[in-house]
């Protein structure tokens, strides 16, 4: 019996699930952001301004969808000041309903960009409004409040956030891990969360994975330091409508990429079959020390690969790497999904 996780028959929509406009610390307006991403072949954009829940549905088009959400953060200092040597938590909240602009655990110290008096007056506030504390229990309380208020909650840029792995393992209620982040990669050069993701999967954390630009556009788009169009998520959905895209995200019908595309991942008769855009190597991680991989002959490329299914591996995930080192990363597929 064949189990198909990614099918060539399923439409794929390119999305940037992490961006900032001039409503917080970005340079471009929401409309300018929507225009440049649409012009560059994207179908979906989430404008996730800091502590600023806002629907931008008026910018959606028949071929371009705006997702409602925002980025929340929790720092070690109660006054929310930035400390480059201290860990912190950044979470993206994606609203399941397009008009949901609920603020979770409102805190004045964190809401410096929320200056619009009309926005503040009409703000729906949910969750504890006591000073935020950098603790596992508080973060879990925050995530639970967000989930109850109708948000999907993702964990952002783990490398940049500098949190201990054991603390990350203790968080509950997250739906996805940000695998690549263009903005923080420009600053630290190492924002890839593959090893952390494997450790989470080995602990039976059923998280999905995605990537985003986290763009602020302080540099021109032609500048090598531009933080746009580097990391994206391909979402597999029946249509480019808000309910279908959210349903796809919620069920893990998506994958992270900085370039390559995955056309098929399926399991049949003890084999994992992968089809993709031209690649230098295709890797199948199974949670072991050694991940089997197939490499292209020098000067050639791969567009498919097959791997044997390990009957005792708790999961597998696929990584496709092109000649430039750009990679596409699938979510982890657990044994109970294909056995």
Where a domain ends, among 257, 282, 304?
257
As a three-state string, the secondary structure of 251-290 is CCCEEEECCCCEEEEEEECCEEEEEEEEECEEEEECCCCC
pLDDT greater at residue 116 or residue 226: 226
Q: End of a domain among 257, 282, 313?
A: 257
Question: Looking at the structure, do residues 100 and 228 belong to the same domain, yes or no?
Answer: yes
Residues 193 and 332 in one domain: no
**What number is the average pLDDT over the span 205-219?**
97
Provide the pLDDT confidence category of residue 40 given band limits of 50, 70 and 90.
very high
187: pLDDT strictly greater than 90: no
Residue 290 lies in a domain: yes
Percent of the chain at pLDDT exceeding 70: 100
Residue 2 lies in a domain: no
The neighbour count for residue 64, using CB atoms within 10 Å, is 18
Residue 112: CATH number of its domain: 3.20.20.140
Q: Which residues pair with 302 in a beta bridge?
A: 279
The pLDDT value given to residue 202: 96
Q: What is the mean pLDDT of residues 164-182?
A: 97
Whether residues 174 and 300 share a domain: the answer is no
Q: Nearest to residue 331, comparing CAs of 3, 1, 6? A: 6
Tell me if 136 is assigned to some domain: yes
The reply to whether 1 falls in a domain is no
* 312-339 per-residue burial string, b: 16 or more CB within 10 A, e: under 16: eeebbbbbbbbeeebbbbbbbbeeeebe
Say which DSSP state 203 is in: T
> Does the residue 4 lie in any domain?
no
Do 161 and 206 lie in one domain? The reply is: yes
Residues 146 and 223 placed together within one structural domain of the fold = yes
Query: Given this model, what pLDDT does residue 190 score?
Result: 73
* pLDDT tens-digit readout, 229-284: 999 999 999 999 999 999 999 999 999 999 999 999 999 999 999 999 999 999 99
Q: Are residues 240 and 265 in the same domain?
A: no
Residue 3, domain member (yes or no): no
Query: Is residue 250 located within the same domain as residue 279?
Result: no
Q: Taking Cα atoms as reference points, which of 168, 166, 126 lies closest to residue 144?
A: 126
- Does residue 303 surpass a pLDDT of 90? yes
Residue 127 lies in a domain: yes
Q: Are residues 18 and 108 in the same domain?
A: yes
Structure confidence at residue 121 (pLDDT): 87
- How many domains would you assign to the chain? 2
Asked, for residue 31, whether it belongs to a domain, the answer is: yes
**Residue 92 and residue 23 share a domain:** yes
Mean pLDDT over the full length of the chain: 96
Q: What is the pLDDT of residue 188?
A: 75
The pLDDT of 294-320, averaged and rounded, is 95
pLDDT digits (tens, 9 = 90+) for 105-126: 999 999 999 998 888 888 999 9
One domain for residues 165 and 198: yes
Please write the tens of the pLDDT for every residue from 43-100: 999 999 999 999 999 999 999 999 999 999 999 998 999 999 999 999 999 999 999 9
Residue 263 structural domain: 259-339
Write a three-state SS string for 96-165: CCCCCCCEECCCHHHCCCCCCHHHHHCCCEECCCCCCCCCHHHHHHHHHHHHHCCEEEEECCHHHHCCCH
Average pLDDT over residues 132-146: 98
Q: What is the CATH number of the domain that holds 292?
A: 2.60.40.10
Specify whether the CB–CB gap between 329 and 195 falls below 8 A: no
Domain's final residue, options 241, 257, 273: 257
Token digits of residue 233:
């998520």
- Note whether 276 and 154 are same-domain residues: no
| Whether residue 275 is found in the same domain as residue 236 | no
pLDDT for 269-283, tens place per residue?
999 999 999 999 999
At 52 the pLDDT is 97
Above pLDDT 90, what percent of the chain? 92
């Amino acid at each position: 019996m064949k189990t198909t996780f990614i099918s060539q028959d399923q439409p794929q929509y390119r999305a940037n699930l992490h961006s900032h406009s001039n409503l917080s610390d970005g340079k471009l307006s929401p409309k300018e952001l929507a225009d440049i991403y649409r012009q560059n072949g994207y179908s979906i954009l989430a404008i996730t301004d800091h502590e600023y829940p806002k629907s931008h549905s008026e910018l959606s088009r028949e071929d371009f969808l705006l997702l409602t959400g925002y980025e929340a953060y929790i720092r070690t200092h109660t006054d929310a000041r930035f400390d480059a040597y201290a860990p912190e938590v950044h979470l993206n909240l994606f609203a399941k309903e397009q008009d949901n602009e609920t603020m979770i655990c409102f805190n004045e110290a964190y809401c410096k960009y929320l200056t619009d008096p009309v926005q503040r007056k009409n703000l729906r506030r949910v969750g504890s409004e006591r000073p935020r504390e950098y603790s596992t229990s508080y973060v879990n309380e925050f995530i639970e409040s967000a989930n109850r208020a109708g948000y999907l909650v993702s964990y952002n840029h783990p490398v940049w956030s500098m949190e201990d792995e054991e603390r990350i393992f203790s968080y509950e209620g997250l739906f996805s891990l940000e695998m690549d982040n263009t903005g923080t990669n420009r600053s630290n050069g190492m924002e890839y969360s593959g090893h952390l993701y494997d450790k989470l999967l080995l602990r039976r954390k059923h998280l999905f994975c995605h990537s985003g630009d986290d763009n602020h556009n302080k540099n021109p788009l032609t500048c090598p330091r531009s933080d746009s169009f580097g990391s994206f998520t391909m979402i597999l959905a029946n249509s480019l409508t808000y309910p279908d895209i959210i349903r796809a995200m919620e069920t893990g019908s998506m994958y992270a990429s900085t370039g390559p595309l995955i056309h098929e991942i399926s399991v049949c008769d003890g084999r994992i079959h992968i089809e993709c855009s031209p690649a230098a190597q295709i890797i199948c991680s199974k949670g072991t020390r050694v991940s089997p991989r197939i490499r292209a002959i020098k000067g050639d490329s791969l567009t498919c690969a097959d791997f044997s299914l390990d009957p005792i591996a708790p999961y597998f995930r696929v990584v496709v790497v092109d000649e430039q080192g750009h990679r596409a990363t699938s979510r982890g597929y657990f044994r109970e999904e294909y056995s």
